[in-house]
Structure formats: C-alpha cells, structure tokens
Amino acid sequence: MSDFARARLNMVDNQIRPHSVTDWRIIDAMRLVPREVFMDEAQQSLAYLDQDIDLDGKGDYRHVILNPTVTARLLQEADIARGDRVLIVGGATGYIAALVAKLGASVVTTVDDPALAERTRATLGALGLGDIAVRVAENVDGAPSDGPFDVIILNGATEVEPVKLYDQLKMGGRLVGVFATSRPQRATVVTRSQGDFGARVLFDTSVPMLPGMQRAPAFVF
C-alpha cells in the first residue's frame, strides 16, 4: 500500500466516520478517489490533513479544495441518488466532482478561469471518470443551460442568497452549501418546492468564500 493510499484510509477512519458520516457510498468514494492528484505536487503532503487547500498558494483561497470533513458531510446531506444531475459551483480542480461521479450522478462543475478548466478536464480524464462536464462560468451564475439540477453543491461559502442558483433546481431539488449570511457560518440545505424554497441549518463551520458571492460593501458616510 502506498503512503497516499494509507493516508486516505486514515482520513476516512479518523476524520470522516467520527463526524457522523454513515453513507457507505460516500465513505467508499473517499477511500477510492486520490485527493492528492487534484493539487500541485508541492501541496500533496497536505492532501489528507483536515484542512482547506488553497490551490493558488496566494493565501486568498480563490480556488480551493474544501477540507475532507465538510466535504463528506455536505455530500451526505445532499442525498445524491444514482442518475441525479448535479452541479458543483466553483469546483476548482474537480475533487468534489469526482466524488459525486463515483456516486453514479451526472455532473457539471464550474470554474471561473479557462486555464483551470483545462487542468480540471485533464485531471478528471486521467482518472477515467465519465459523465462530468466542466464549464467556465462565474460562481454566482451557475450553469443554467445544463440544468435543471437535482442537486447543487457550493464548493465554498456564500454571503448572499444565491437566487440564480435556486432557479436552476428542479422541483424537490436541493442546494447544499455554507452560508455566511450571519456568524458563525452555517452549512445549510435549501429545498425547492412548488413556489417556495425551504432552508434547514445542518451544522456550524467555517470555509473560504466563493469569489463573486460576497456581500456588497456597505456605504459608509
């Protein structure tokens, strides 16, 4: 067993399962998908620590791989079924997209940079993962031409209500993400029903903001 494979098992046993992640499909996906390939070689020693990875290495966390515990808990709350159509917003190099594909879903993942999109396509292609489309789009816009979606997952926090994304949900569809509309940040699931959206708080956490989903600065006299 390689060092990375051993670290991946330790991540599942010591970080994921103790945090009430009981869906064996998610546990198996996180055992199988090599998190290290989604980051630069210089960062790979950090791959299985329970921390967010700043892929740009500039300290601004514009493109990020969320920490494993939050990732697993969001996936469990998303309740993804085989054959669901899933949108990952701000999916960076594709780690969450790969996990969702392992759950048998059809995946669209967005990034806000064309060069990063090419890197993401190459990484996912090298893993032999099929039904994943990578789109270049601003995080706030989603991928309306690919919708509607059964599930939308935010790969980062939002300070604003993502109304454009809500409109891309099917009836009964769920948006799962971390809302920073108050403090502390709260992981939340928003479900679309006929003519309405219902929100349920899941747990308190703290993750980096998705670019473009910050609240507009207040005017100061």
Residue 43 DSSP code: G
Integer Cα distance of 97 and 103 in angstroms: 10
**Where residue 166 sits, what CATH number does that domain have?**
3.40.50.150
**DSSP notation for 70-135:** HHHHHHHHHTPPTT-EEEEET-TTSHHHHHHHHTT-EEEEEES-HHHHHHHHHHHHHTT--SEEEE
pLDDT for 2: 82
Q: Which tokens sit at 64?
A: 């990020």
CB 91 within 8 A of CB 155: yes
Q: Of 212, 164, 214, 210, whose CA–CA distance to 61 is shortest?
A: 210
Strand partners, 179: 158, 186
Residue 218 in any domain: the answer is: no
Give the pairing of strands 64-65 and 85-89: unpaired
Residue 18 in any domain: the answer is: yes
Helix (H) or strand (E) holding 170: strand 169-179
Count: domains in the chain = 1
Residue 114 in any domain: the answer is: yes
Q: Write down how long the chain is.
A: 221
Distances (CA, A) of 135 to 47, 94, 116, 208: 25, 11, 10, 21
Q: Which residues of 9-22 are buried (b: 16+ CB within 10 A; e: fewer)?
A: eebbeebbeeeebe
Residue 216 in any domain: the answer is: no
pLDDT tens per residue across span 35-92 = 999 999 999 999 999 999 999 988 888 999 999 999 999 999 999 999 999 999 999 9
Residue numbers in the chain where pLDDT is lower than 50: none
pLDDT for 170: 96
Residue 214 in any domain: the answer is: no
Q: What range defines the domain where residue 144 resides?
A: 3-205
> What is the SS3 assignment for 180?
coil
Other CB atoms within 10 A of residue 58 CB: 9
pLDDT for 144: 97
Integer Cα distance of 185 and 76 in angstroms: 19
Residue 179 in any domain: the answer is: yes
Give the pairing of strands 132-136 and 64-65: unpaired
Integer Cα distance of 122 and 196 in angstroms: 39
Q: Which residues of 28-52 are buried (b: 16+ CB within 10 A; e: fewer)?
A: ebbbebebbbbbeeeebeebbeeeb
pLDDT for 218: 57
Residue 210 in any domain: the answer is: no
Residue 14 in any domain: the answer is: yes
pLDDT for 152: 98
